[in-house]
Amino acid sequence: MFTDILTIWSDSPGLSLAIWLVISITLLYAGRPHAHQLLRSTGRAIYGSFRVASSSIRQLEQRVINRNRDVLLAAGREQAEKAIERDFNRVNAIVERDLSQYPGLHRKLAETLEKIENDYHECTGNAPLPPAWSELMDTIASLPGSGDPAVQNILDNIKDVVENSHEETLKAYQQDTNERHKILKAMQPEWRTLNGTMKKVEQTITGLEDRSRTIDRQMAEYESMRKAEDRAVNALTSSSLTQFFIASLVLVIAAFGGIINFHLIALPMSEMVGGASYIGAVRTSDIAALVIIMVEITMGLFLLEALQITRLFPVISSMDDRMRKRMAIAAFTILVIFASIEASLAYMRDLLALDREALTQSLAGTAVAEAQFRWIPSIGQLMLGFILPFALAFVGIPLESFIHSLRTVLGLVALAGLRALRLALRLVGGMASHLSRMLISLYDLFIMVPLSIERMVRYRRETAPQAIAEAAEQREPEQAPEQKEATPKARAARPARTKRPGKEPETYQTDDMPLTTGEV
Amino acid sequence: MTNVNLPGFLRSGLRRQVTAILTTFLVAAGLAGCGQPTNHSRAVFVLIDISSDYAGELDKAETLSNYLLANLNTGDSLAVAFIDNSSFTERNIIARATFDHRPSVTSQQKRVFNAEVTAFTEGFRVPSHHSDITGGVLLATDYLHGVDAGERYLFILSDLHEDLPPWLKRDMAVNLSEVQVVAMNVKRQRSDNNNPRAYQQRLANWQQQVEQSGGSWRLLNDMARLESAVALR
């Protein structure tokens, strides 16, 4: 077909091809302005449309940025409010627990102090031993003996009386001192009590001080979030991404736990619901095992929700405390029942596996071996079946973090996608513009022969009047000065006259597709 | 038509209810559409030739039976029968069972089944003079089509040399549609050594007969390749 068309003019392919070439060049030359117009307008249209699309996406991107910022700040504010509320509750608990007893403590302190004061007064109330007794004793001892036995006897009696009195006084003094020592000894526990009470007060006050510092810090962060500062947004974004990755990791671990749990109960479930029935392409026993695991996870979620550890269901959070407590008990009971069922199923799985193994061995014709310590994996499976539901019940905590952080991550992913799309649109627009210019140049390259001829003809047309004018100037040197003066003007005006409007398309060859006002 | 003006909240509630009902209906319809009842159970029939030329291969039959017992699951059906002078009778069936949906009961059934097959092979003494293979195939098709199964298999352990007694009429069509026929351990006879073409011709005739009856044909002579060749799901 192609050969037939090629050789339509002549049997010689070369000649025929040359004729086709000439025809096509002629046709392309004739349609050059329209072809240029088409290529240029197409390129400009694609470029403009993509620019418009890009700017629309930029607006959308800005909206997504604002939305992300709002979401982050709202989540951060909520979190900060919760943290501050929790700290205030702790402060309240400290005040209620410790400072509510402060009047009693104060009374105790006052009583202790009063007692100590009384004891102190009691210690200092008795007069010490008068010093005159010793002088009197010395005076009596130094009296000279007169030799009279009666006098001597009297003096001895006086001396004895004085000595007795001195001894009694000394004894009374010593007794009094002992009593004071006893009182001071009894004051020792009171001092210790006082010291302990004061330490307790100090600890309470210090704890309150630490807590108040924490609250101050959180309030500063909260203030920063309220002002929507970039610092707070960046911190929240980073925290959210960290939460997302940690929660994802924990959820993956939980998923593996769920798979193990599934395999633990899938086989024995076929004893309960039948191993030959299918729902679609999946065994009913498998679906039943999955349902049990899902119900366990759901009960775990409800339990955590009722204990207010997670806040996924506002309905549960808004219940009164009594109702939530009942719900927590119900969820925990169901969880325990399911864990017990799973434990029994896991044990049954072990028995079934053992039976199957024995059957396989007997079918293979080998003797059934009695495995030692077979009870260890049996007990292990039993315990695993009981523990795994409780472990899976805690999946609510990472799930909540995952869901909350997912909003931020999805926002960031959407932002990245929009940016990539905008970049792609701009690139494609630019390439379309460049391609149209390239095609125009290629077009002209293909028809360069007629274009060169056209250029030559135009040049001759432009240069011929100038040559005639110059010749006329040489022939008429005697022309009037005013006419001579007018000649440069005419020269200057001539090129302007020779520029015909029809030659304007020359400009677009150098035109680098300027943007319109709208595009700019 | 009377235009009933409902309050705004009632209208929105009604709309929500209608949406919920429609959604439920659509989901249910979708589930019903997706869940086409697929039968996943399998039915297997094993024919063992006990004619004088093939009676020495009974240990292969036991191997095949054990393999099938190990691979079939709950809800599947299995039957083992022998081919003798007249095979289209109930007495030809050595053992048959449709396994219970409970794995523990299935294991027990498999033990009983295995015991019956073992008892037959151990108690076998006198081989038959003739071999009514077509009668056995008819017996198998009756069993296989009588069982509600998604996949049907017929294993034939024989030399495929049919030697009918003169009084038997077996020139009738056999319905082997949706049955996968696997000829196993097709033993070569002495005459086949002299004329191998006769052996090939015999196999080709059986293949043609099976395929014309709507079944699919496979040949498996090496019992060691049983697991890789007979890939029971």
What percentage of chain B reaches a pLDDT higher than 70? 82
- To the nearest whole Å, the CA of A368 is away from the closest chain B CA by 14
pLDDT for residue A127:
56
Chain B residues touching residue A364 (CB < 8 angstroms)? 66, 70
User: Biggest alpha carbon distance in chain A?
Assistant: 193
Range in A227-236, A390-399, B18-27, B58-67 the model is least confident about: B18-27
Task: Tell if the CB–CB gap between B103 and A270 is shorter than 8 Å.
Answer: yes
Report yes or no: A257 and A388 within 8 Å, Cβ to Cβ.
Answer: yes
Chain A residues touching residue B32 (CB < 8 angstroms)? none
What mean pLDDT is reported for chain B? 83
Average pLDDT over residues A150-173: 82
What percentage of chain A reaches a pLDDT higher than 70? 87
| Helix, coil or strand: residue B97 | strand
pLDDT of residue A510 exceeding 60: no
pLDDT for residue A516:
44
Q: How confident is the model at residue A123 (pLDDT cuts 50, 70, 90)?
A: low
Task: Tell if the CB–CB gap between B101 and A279 is shorter than 8 Å.
Answer: no
pLDDT of residue A438 exceeding 90: yes
**ipTM entry:** 0.71
| Helix, coil or strand: residue A166 | helix
Interface test with B, best of A273, A283, A359, A361 (most B CBs within 10 A): A359
What mean pLDDT is reported for chain A? 82
pLDDT for residue B26:
57
A271 → closest Cβ in B35, B102, B110: B102
pLDDT for residue B10:
42
Average pLDDT over residues B109-136: 92
Q: What is the pTM of this model?
A: 0.62
One-letter identity of residue A352: L
Q: Is A131 on the interface with B (CB under 8 A)?
A: no
> Under 8 Å CB-to-CB from B233, ≥6 apart: which residues?
B42, B151
Task: Please state the domain extents for chain B.
Answer: 1-33, 42-228
Task: Tell if the CB–CB gap between A274 and B70 is shorter than 8 Å.
Answer: no
pLDDT for residue A220:
86
Q: How confident is the model at residue A375 (pLDDT cuts 50, 70, 90)?
A: confident
pLDDT of residue B105 exceeding 80: yes
pLDDT tens string A458-506: 998 888 887 788 888 777 655 545 554 444 444 544 444 444 444 444 4
Q: Is B15 on the interface with A (CB under 8 A)?
A: no
User: Which single residue is written with the structure tokens 């009197």?
Assistant: A136
- DSSP class of residue A352? H
Of B85 and A470, more confident: B85
Give the bridge partners for B95, in sequence order: B80
Range in A172-176, B73-77, B177-181, B224-228 the model is least confident about: B224-228
Give the bridge partners for B153, in sequence order: B44, B180
Q: How confident is the model at residue A340 (pLDDT cuts 50, 70, 90)?
A: very high
Cβ–Cβ pairs < 8 A, chains A and B: 59
3 state SS for A177-239: HHHHHHHHHHHHHHHHHHHHHHHHHHHHHHHHHHHHHHHHHHHHHHHHHHCCCHHHHHHHHHH
Q: How far is CA A307 from CA A78, A270, A312, A314, A336, in A?
A: 19, 35, 12, 13, 16
pLDDT for residue A503:
43
Report yes or no: B116 and B93 within 8 Å, Cβ to Cβ.
Answer: no
Sheet (strand B42-49) strand order: B93-98, B77-83, B42-49, B151-157, B179-184, B216-220
- HSE (side-chain half, CA atoms, 13 Å) at A198: 10
Report the C-alpha dihedral over residues A444, A450, A454, A457, rounded to 10 degrees: 150
Q: How confident is the model at residue A517 (pLDDT cuts 50, 70, 90)?
A: very low
3 state SS for B2-46: CCCCCCHHHHHHHHHHHHHHHHHHHHHHHHHHHCCCCCCCEEEEE
pLDDT for residue B37:
65
Chain A residues touching residue B74 (CB < 8 angstroms)? 270, 274-276
Helices (runs of H) and strands (runs of E) counted in chain A? 15, 2
What the block records as the tokens of B126 is 């006198």
User: Which single residue is written with the structure tokens 């117009």?
Assistant: A37
- To the nearest whole Å, the CA of B152 is away from the closest chain A CA by 16
Distance CA A355, CA B104 (A): 8
Report yes or no: B53 and B129 within 8 Å, Cβ to Cβ.
Answer: no
Range in A176-185, A407-416, B27-36 the model is least confident about: B27-36
pLDDT tens string A382-427: 999 999 999 999 999 999 999 989 988 999 999 999 999 999 999 9
B residues 99-118 closer than 8 Å to A (CB): 99, 101-104, 106-107, 110-111, 114
pLDDT for residue B142:
93
Q: Is A282 on the interface with B (CB under 8 A)?
A: no
Chain B CA closest to residue A268: B103
pLDDT of residue A454 exceeding 80: yes
pLDDT of residue B32 exceeding 70: no
pLDDT for residue B36:
58
Report yes or no: B192 and B184 within 8 Å, Cβ to Cβ.
Answer: no
Distance CA A342, CA A269 (A): 10
Q: Is B227 on the interface with A (CB under 8 A)?
A: no
Q: Determine how β-strand B77-83 pairs with β-strand B93-98.
A: antiparallel
CATH of domain B42-228: 3.40.50.410
Spacing of C-alpha A85 from chain mean position: 21
Task: Please state the domain extents for chain A.
Answer: 108-226, 232-394
Range in A69-83, A109-123, A154-168, A263-277 the model is least confident about: A109-123
pLDDT for residue A129:
58
Distance CA A324, CA A327 (A): 5
Geometric angle at alpha carbon A472, from A471 and A475, rounded to 5°: 90
Of A162 and B81, more confident: B81
pLDDT of residue B45 exceeding 50: yes
Report yes or no: A251 and A399 within 8 Å, Cβ to Cβ.
Answer: yes
What the block records as the tokens of B158 is 């024989």
B residues 70-99 closer than 8 Å to A (CB): 70, 73-76, 99
Report yes or no: B184 and B156 within 8 Å, Cβ to Cβ.
Answer: yes
A352 → closest Cβ in B34, B38, B104: B104
pLDDT tens string A59-91: 999 999 998 888 888 888 888 888 888 888 888
